[in-house]
Amino acid sequence: MTDPDPAETLFEKIIAREIPADIVHETATTLAFRDISPQAAVHVLIVPKTRYRNVGELASADPALLAELLTTAHHVAELEGLVDGGYRVVFNTGADAGQTVFHVHAHVLGGEQLGHFGRYETQQAQ
Ligand code: AMP
């Protein structure tokens, strides 16, 4: 997997408040902020404050923190009013999945009927 920025990503800068973000929730170990390029009516990213490059690395190193990240994702879905209608949690992992920021993050998507997901050409046809 290519890691374009092994030292630091922009998410560490958001966590450190060095660059602005629309923060919707914070715990001692996680931060949730709106995606700058939303792919649904509601699109929030949940990140652990400690950096792991992807969800597999996080799961291996600190499964309790992964569980907390998912609990926080559900809490954010509650705060955003998504639970009744439904929502999607996505971890893009590696190049084929289109991961661009190598600080693990859960995408929480909802607030409208979501499209299907899968092959690249399927998405292009919609
Ligand atoms: P991924 O492609 O799964 O690595 O997701 C990275 C996400 O970060 C993309 O959905 C981007 O739109 C989002 N993103 C990039 N820069 C920012 C930023 N400054 N603030 C909030 N979200 C961002």
Tens of pLDDT, residues 48-65: 999 999 999 999 999 999
Q: For ligand 1, say whether the CB of 113 is within 6 Å of any of its atoms.
A: no
Q: What is the model's pLDDT at position 8?
A: 87
Pairing of strands 30-34, 87-90: unpaired
> What is each CA distance from 84 to 35, 80, 87, 112, 114, in whole angstroms?
22, 11, 9, 11, 14
The one-character DSSP state at 118 is -
Q: Indicate yes or no: pTM above 0.85.
A: yes
CATH fold of 10-125: HIT family, subunit A (3.30.428)
Sequence letter at residue 4: P
Q: 90: Cβ below 6 Å to ligand 1? A: no
CA Rg, the chain, in Å?
A: 14
| Closest ligand 1 atom number to CA of residue 21 | 20
User: Using one digit for the tens of pLDDT, what is the confidence trace for 65-93?
Assistant: 999 999 999 999 999 999 999 999 999 99
Pairing verdict, β 30-34 and 23-26 = antiparallel
Nearest CA to ligand 1 atom 1: 99
- Centre of ligand 1 from the C-alpha of residue 101, in Å: 7
Q: Is 4 in the pocket of ligand 1 (CB under 6 A)?
A: no
Does ligand 1 come within 6 angstroms of the Cβ of 29? no
CA distances from 14 to 34, 43, 88 (A): 11, 17, 23
Asked if residue 118 has pLDDT above 80, the reply is: no
87 contacts 110 by C-beta, under 8 angstroms: yes
Report domain extents, the chain: 10-125
Q: Has 105 been annotated as catalytic? A: yes
Give the separation between CA 40 and CA 37, rounded to whole angstroms.
9
Residue 1's pLDDT is what?
45
